[in-house]
Amino acid sequence: MSKAVYIATMEPGSGKSIVTLGLMRMLLGKVAKVGYFRPIIGDLEEGEVDNHINTVIKHFNLSIKYEDAYAFSKSEVLSKIHDGELDEVFDTIIEKYKALEEMYDFVLVEGTDFSGEGTATELEINTDIAKNLGIPAIIVEGGKGKTMTEFVNNLLSAYDLFESKEVKVLAVVANMIQPENMDWVKEELCKELKGKVLVNVIPLIDFLGNPTVKEVARGLNAEVICDNPKKLNKQIDNYVIGAMQLRNYLPRLKENSLIVTPGDRYDIVLGAIQANISDNYPPLSGIVLTGGLRPESTILDLIEGVPNKLPLLIVDKNTYEISQAIGEIKPMIYAANRDKIMTSIRAFDNHVDGERLSNALITFETKGITPRMFQYNLLKRAQKHKKRIVLPEGNDDRVLTAATRLINQNVVDLIILGKEDEIRKRVRFLGLRMDFDKVEIINPIESKYFDDYAQTLYELRKHKNMNLAMARDKMVDVSYFGTMMVYKDDADGMVSGAAHATQHTILPALQFIKTKPGVSVVSSIFFMCLEDRVSVFGDCAINPNPTAEQLAEIAISSADSATAFDIEPLVAMLSYSSGKSGIGEDVDKVRKATEIVIAKRPDIKIEGPIQYDAAVDPYIAGNKLPDSEVAGKASVLIFPDLNTGNNTYKAVQRETGTIAIGPMLQGLNKPVNDLSRGCTIDDIYNTVIITAIQTQGL
């Protein structure tokens, strides 16, 4: 079941509050705790609060704090985009959403309102937010003021946009449709969408489209004279200009009219007040006095003595300007206006198929974890149980930069090997702000551990003709020293290889950390953060030409690693042919490896041999292997040899901009991970995090 849904629109004034309020009421009847989140809110004056958040929290009495219910204002987002900090926007939104997800059974996420500048940017950001949160969407569009053909095309375009971004659309809501057009709109949408989503049509409700006295007062920046604040929530169905004589004016009054008249037209003012309490005239909503003309005290005293007084709004501008301004006021639904809230909920209940929508939410299955969510989860897992990670290459600028970032984010406890004075000098030269109180810097040859480590290495390797002098020479090498720290539990894991070859990093681990029981081969995986999912690639760094038995072991280790990192393992054993069609030594090796995995671990879902396209593309999989549980949705891809795997991961990484996290070594008793000498700062940062998480499972 989905734990959240994203309510989105492509334009302002769509009336999505109807869906928000109705869906919130429906969800509260089905799950115990429902949270509410707006990733981006509109810009507000100092001291103001977002009306959407305030309304939902107050009406439904939610326990959520206001500041937890949003991430950014619109201007803050646009500023960060201008400064090239869009990644920070998504990371913060994910962090705040995940905090709510942990607290609530379901989170209702509402998109932006598309007001002011930057609406094109808003549209893209809304789709990207839903995509990165990995949640389905409900699209709401308003039909007021449009031809029905134009409206249907707009809604279909919105659907196509979200689907093209890999965001599953559960339902579309055609809102504010004239009653006589409702059947046609629903038929057209159902015909075009072919049953892929739930189609709902809500009629235009005039009551919801009209402002209240309070909204007019705010929109006109009026001085308000009112004996009862509740009267300010009175609906305004129309407004009438008071310029003619009273006897001609009174017949024009209609129910819930707002009277607009110059402030010195006491005949109109008093006549309207008398009409409001008369059984012969309809009830009115209020009076706007224009021209900055405030009634004299004697007139105010007269008004004060009348029962059921109308609110008076006093404004500076003339009558014509005010009538224009009133027509431009956009009505809202706010917490104090219970009538509008209940009308919205009834409209939702009457015109949205709540049962089918509930079922769609229950049966929704996410298509793997999104890349940003995956990286966020890694960071939080590492922070939750901090581990000590040793970085042997303290003379590398990339290592120092990544280390500073890790320390400042309080992700791990770090040990950096090297000469402390040289490291401090280099950190200052790079302009880094490293908190040296939170990092341990060790020069191996001067360390208190040195003699003990050398003696331990001698004891472990003397059967290989190593003497103590040789062990001491080895322990000067940072790779040996760092690995020994892990072996002796003075560090939980090690990350190296930015300045050393793979063999230099791994050899000490193979010599005395050794492999886990039942494991004969050390292998590696990369977490490939593709555009819409995270896949596991193995082995792309260690074994040049594994045998069928080794390939099977790599597949099993990779499946278990995927599970440990919350990725459902659907294993594809890659080859140049799919199914039973191919012949040849290479494809036979993959077929045999697949059979070994099935025999050893029948719990693992696996397919092989299979081509890459059939492994990841549902359409091709349907043609080649229609009955496969794995084809078309593989999450763990096992390459037949290092040549294929290494070139493929690098090609995918460079050509698509995919983040490749790793390599992460599998099969060792304790985590030691190797970097590429061409690694980036992000590579080091991410590899340290996955190393820390590996240690948590030991």
Q: What is the pLDDT of residues 176-213, one digit of tens each?
A: 999 999 999 999 999 999 889 999 999 998 888 888 88
Q: In the predicted model, is pLDDT for residue 488 greater than 90?
A: yes
For 337, the token pair is 């206006």
Q: Binning pLDDT at 50, 70 and 90, where does residue 679 land?
A: confident
For 593, the token pair is 């490896």
Report the helix count and the strand count for the chain, using DSSP H and E: 28, 23
d(CA 417, CA 494): 11
pLDDT tens-digit readout, 596-643: 999 999 999 999 899 999 999 988 988 888 889 999 999 999 999 999
Q: In the predicted model, is pLDDT for residue 7 greater than 70?
A: yes
pLDDT for the residue numbered 118: 46
Domain 516-667: homologous superfamily in CATH: Isocitrate/Isopropylmalate dehydrogenase-like (3.40.50.10750)
Distance of CA 453 to the CA centre of its chain: 47
Q: In the predicted model, is pLDDT for residue 94 greater than 60?
A: yes
CATH of span 4-204+339-359 = 3.40.50.300
pLDDT for the residue numbered 688: 94
**Summary mean pLDDT of the chain:** 89
Sheet of 534-538, strands arranged across: 605-610, 570-574, 636-638, 534-538, 523-529, 659-666
Q: Binning pLDDT at 50, 70 and 90, where does residue 302 land?
A: confident
pLDDT tens-digit readout, 24-68: 999 888 887 899 999 999 888 888 899 899 999 999 999 899 999
Q: In the predicted model, is pLDDT for residue 697 greater than 90?
A: no
**Helices 86-103 and 371-384 sit at what angle, rounded to 10 degrees?**
60
Q: Binning pLDDT at 50, 70 and 90, where does residue 383 land?
A: confident
Q: Average pLDDT in the 668-687 region? A: 89
Q: Average pLDDT in the 96-107 region? A: 91
Q: Which of 495-499, 583-587, 666-670 has the lowest mean pLDDT?
A: 583-587
Map 182-222 to HEC letters. Answer: HHHHHHHHHHHHCCCCEEEEEECCHHHHCCEHHHHHHHHCC
| pTM of structure | 0.71
Q: Average pLDDT in the 407-428 region? A: 92
Q: Is 317 helix (H, G, I), strand (E, B) or coil?
A: coil
d(CA 657, CA 680): 13
Q: Nearest-CA neighbor of 39 among 171, 138, 165, 128?
A: 128
- What are the C-alpha distances in Å from 259 to residues 59, 168, 264, 265? 31, 49, 14, 11
Indicate the class that CATH gives domain 369-514+670-698: alpha beta
b (16+ CB within 10 A) / e for 654-687: eeeebbbbbbbbbbbbbbbbbbbeebebebbbbb
Establish whether domains 4-204+339-359 and 516-667 are of one fold: yes
Q: Binning pLDDT at 50, 70 and 90, where does residue 14 land?
A: confident
Q: Average pLDDT in the 287-313 region? A: 85
The second-level CATH assignment, the architecture, of 213-330 is: 3-Layer(aba) Sandwich (3.40)
Pairing of strands 223-225, 198-203: unpaired
pLDDT for the residue numbered 403: 93
Q: Classify burial at 419, counting beta carbons within 10 Å of its beta carbon; exposed 0-12, middle 13-18, buried 19 or more.
A: middle
Q: In the predicted model, is pLDDT for residue 369 greater than 80?
A: no
Q: In the predicted model, is pLDDT for residue 238 greater than 50?
A: yes
Q: In the predicted model, is pLDDT for residue 451 greater than 60?
A: yes
pLDDT for the residue numbered 322: 87
Domain ranges of the chain: 4-204+339-359, 213-330, 369-514+670-698, 516-667
d(CA 140, CA 112): 12
pLDDT for the residue numbered 442: 94
Q: What percent of the chain has pLDDT over 90?
A: 47
pLDDT for the residue numbered 523: 93
Q: In the predicted model, is pLDDT for residue 698 greater than 60?
A: no
Q: What percent of the chain has pLDDT over 70?
A: 98
Q: Average pLDDT in the 457-465 region? A: 91
Q: Is 37 helix (H, G, I), strand (E, B) or coil?
A: strand
Q: In the predicted model, is pLDDT for residue 117 greater than 60?
A: no
pLDDT for the residue numbered 606: 95
